[in-house]
Structure 1
Amino acid sequence: MASSSSTSHSQWSYDVFLSFRGEDTRRNFTDHLYKALIHSGFRTFRDDEELRRGEEIAQELLTAIEESRSAIVVFSETYARSKWCLEELVKIMKCKEEREQMVVIPIFYHVDPSEVRNQTEIYGEAFTHHEKNADEERKEKIRKWKTALRQASDLAGYDAKNRFIS
């Protein structure tokens, strides 16, 4: 994932796009991961560091995903409650589909991969909430979110549950 040539740097703005739910992991796991990536020389996009004030968040995030060589998705307990996180994930999986060389690495942080894949337990509860009073347009978004979750959780990744992270 690290860029070693100027060609790589000119083609991609970022080596890694981090997708995560801030309230779950920003001040712990994701912060450590971000620092380790930066220390290792990876240009890493993390929303609280890279967004410029006054710009539209959604478009900046979508552009950053498009300009990233890879993505790390940290699935945490409330990831599926966030419409922003789910929209990011749909965009990440669309970019992966369009350019097969894009690497997407899921990390399951205190959630079981099958819970993410099948939208059960806390992920199922999040979708029950999203589906309440959903119109047809919203139902289509929810379908895309579920598909993206299944696709991402089928990728080889890491289960950080019950592991010591230094």
Structure 2
Amino acid sequence: MASANRRRASSSSTPVRPWDYEVFLSFRGIVTFRDDGELRRGEEIAPSLLTAIERSRCALVILSERYAHSKWCLEELAKIMERRAEMGLIVYPVFYHVDPSDVRRQRGSYGEALAKHERREFVERTQRWRAALTKWPTLLDGM
């Protein structure tokens, strides 16, 4: 009961945000202000990154030519789109030197990268990633 009273008292003076971060930035192959130096090629994505997506208000996804070559980026994207569907995460796509239709239709470097992932026995994951990439048209309709 004491904790409920404390919660009520604090809610009138300080708004409680349902997120810890304003923006989650998902990118590959472009110079940015910060990158996680602990991530090594071929390793699984850190659970802390997936948690950061869950605790973010919005996501800025920079889809570059090499984005789909990264399993980490594709895992981030799948999680971002999952959170969008479940919790209404705001997602802003940026198409950096890549045609949005190539991303959606998985042509060019996106088709090549996904085919390579499938050959390396990531079939189930690749299906999730393909599904996430095909959801871009619904994002773009609202812009």
Q: Same fold (TM over 0.5)?
A: yes
Once residues 71 and 129 of structure 1 are traced to their aligned partners in structure 2, the CA distance between those partners, rounded to angstroms, is: 26
Is the counterpart of residue 75 in structure 1 residue 59 in structure 2?
A: no
Q: CA deviation at 1:155?
A: 1.2
RMSD: 2.3
Question: Distance in 2 between the 1:61 and 1:153 partners?
Answer: 25
> 1:4-59: CA deviations, max 9, x gaps?
x9425x421101100001xx21x2xx44xxxxxxxxxxxxxx6539x8xxxx9510
Shift of 1:154: 3.8
Contact 1:87–1:145 under 8 Å retained in 2: yes
- Opposite residue 136 of structure 2, the aligned amino acid is A
Which sections of structure 1, spanning at least 5 residues, go unmatched?
32-45, 158-166
Cα distance in 1 between the residues matched to 2:102 and 2:133: 10
Runs of 4+ in 1 over 4 A off after TM superposition: none
Q: How does 1:38-49 map to 2 (within 5 A)?
A: 47-48=35-36
Structure 2 residue corresponding to 1:110, chosen from 69, 74, 97: 97
Q: Secondary structure at the match of 1:73?
A: strand
Question: Rg larger in 1 or in 2?
Answer: 2
Cα distance in 2 between the residues matched to 1:69 and 1:61: 14
Q: CA deviation at 1:153?
A: 4.9
Alignment of 1:12-31 (within 5 A): 12-21=19-28, 24-25=29-30, 27=31, 30-31=32-33
Number of residues of Structure 1 aligned to a counterpart in Structure 2: 124
Instruction: Please tell me whether residue 129 in structure 1 is matched to residue 116 in structure 2.
Output: yes
